[in-house]
Amino acid sequence: MSDALKLGIAGLGTVGVGVVKIIRENAALLEARSGRQVTISAVSARSKNKSRDVDVSDYAWEDDPVALAKRDDVDVVLELIGGDSGPAKATVEAAIAAGKHVITANKAMLALHGQELALKAEAAGVNLRFEAAVAGGIPVIKALTESLAGNNITRVMGVMNGTCNYILTRMESAKLPYDVVFEEANKLGYLEADPNLDVGGIDAAHKLTLLSSIAFGTQVNFDGVELEGIGQITIEDIDHARDMGFRIKLLGIAQMTDAGLEQSMRPVLVPAASPLAPLEGGTNMVVIEGDAAGQIVLRGAGAGEGPTASAVMGDVMDIARGLKITVFGQPATTLKAAKAARTSNLSAFSLRLNLKDTPGVMAQISTALANAGVSIDRMRQFSHNDTSAPVMIVTHPTKRAAVEAAFRSIAEMDVTTETPLMLSIVDA
């Protein structure tokens, strides 16, 4: 039997506590499956005396996570602190410099500093693993780096933020407006300390960039993501979409084209028959398309103590078994700088416009769309009041740039009572 694999856990929040529970409750199973004991040597968190749902008194305590990373009795550092820099990044860098393997759930740090940290880890000959950083308990990183390594990946897409999916599906099922469900989600503890990380699409975009790097052999490029959150979505948008056979999802899409790497994270319409449509609450789904495997659909819990800790332990077990793999699926020195490209696919769009209820307004809208090269497929006007007439238009397939040009023209006409909304219709 090999020597025990000794862990140091930096961060005892939801995920850190979940990891401790798994190690304490499944010790025999972990040993049987890896061929060695998996133990915890030391832990670190902001407060030693905080009440936690697990006993950590058996482990050495470090107030400073960097000191934990340098301990001689730690083989693997689990960075579960969070934050794109600060103590989290310092802990990872200290661990790598000390020759320790690192496992992290920190998508923000990797999205902004992934290339730098990958180069350091690979130069030091240590693993930097991050299964828990994307889609909770879904093993999507392992799928891309290992199981699908023989495929030329053509597209990656998915619903990767459980909070946004909860808000959108809760609005639909309870017939509640965005602001009410936002506050509900906040009281339930679903939102980040900075809620815009969730509802602004930033958290999900961090995850998408990590998948893009693995799928297309590129350096992580968060700045290249076309980003739009869900704050403009109304209950009327959701109802109108359902009436027309669609559901609204915050969807990330990444693909490599001749123009460069296209990455977008924005609300879209998906057909009711799509595997993405039935997702409720915090469920995530990632769809990977490869030239050999075809379409692979991975679905599961996108957050929470158990699922995310499970993902962390998957990485722990790989290291315990002696598996060595590059951070993003190929040597960091070979990753190409990603040239960001705008979404170029032709797509039908759903356009929501609240028009002033005056003669000739619809003719002006039609002219603006036609002048931009946007053709109307169907149109529906909903019940209106004395001043505003809500209209939904579905276009024939066109480029996003054409619809944006039409919207700029419409903005100059002073014919709407609020900012129009465009949602692409994704055949997923």
- The answer to pTM > 0.85 is yes
pLDDT at 327 (0 to 100):
98
For the chain, list residues with pLDDT below 50. 1
CATH 3.90.1150.10 fits 5-104, yes or no: no
Q: Could you tell me the residue ranges of all domains in the chain? A: 5-104, 140-301+337-341, 348-425
pLDDT at 284 (0 to 100):
95
Fold of 348-425: Alpha-Beta Plaits (3.30.70)
What separation in angstroms does the CA of 251 have from each of 7, 121, 164, 337?
36, 31, 10, 24
pLDDT at 348 (0 to 100):
96
| pLDDT tens digits, one per residue of 211-244 | 999 999 999 999 999 999 999 999 999 998 998 8
* Long-range Cβ pairs for the range 409-416 (8 Å, 24+): 409/368, 409/371, 409/372, 410/353, 410/364, 410/365, 410/368, 413/364, 413/368, 414/356, 415/355, 415/356, 415/358, 415/361, 415/364, 415/365, 416/353, 416/354, 416/355, 416/356
pLDDT at 357 (0 to 100):
82
pLDDT at 1 (0 to 100):
47
pLDDT at 130 (0 to 100):
98
- HEC letters along 301-321: ECCCHHHHHHHHHHHHHHHHC
Distance CA 150, CA 127 (A): 21
| pLDDT tens digits, one per residue of 97-137 | 999 999 999 999 999 999 999 999 999 999 999 999 999 99
pLDDT at 69 (0 to 100):
98
As a CATH number, domain 140-301+337-341 is 3.30.360.10
pLDDT at 113 (0 to 100):
98
Q: Which residues, at least 6 apart from 222, have a Cβ–Cβ distance to it below 8 Å?
A: 111, 112, 205, 206, 209
| Catalytically annotated residues | 207
Instruction: Give the up-direction half-sphere exposure of residue 285: CA atoms within 13 A in the CB hemisphere.
Output: 17
Catalogue the E-assigned strands of 258-399.
260-271, 283-290, 294-301, 340-341, 348-356, 376-381, 388-395
pLDDT at 292 (0 to 100):
97
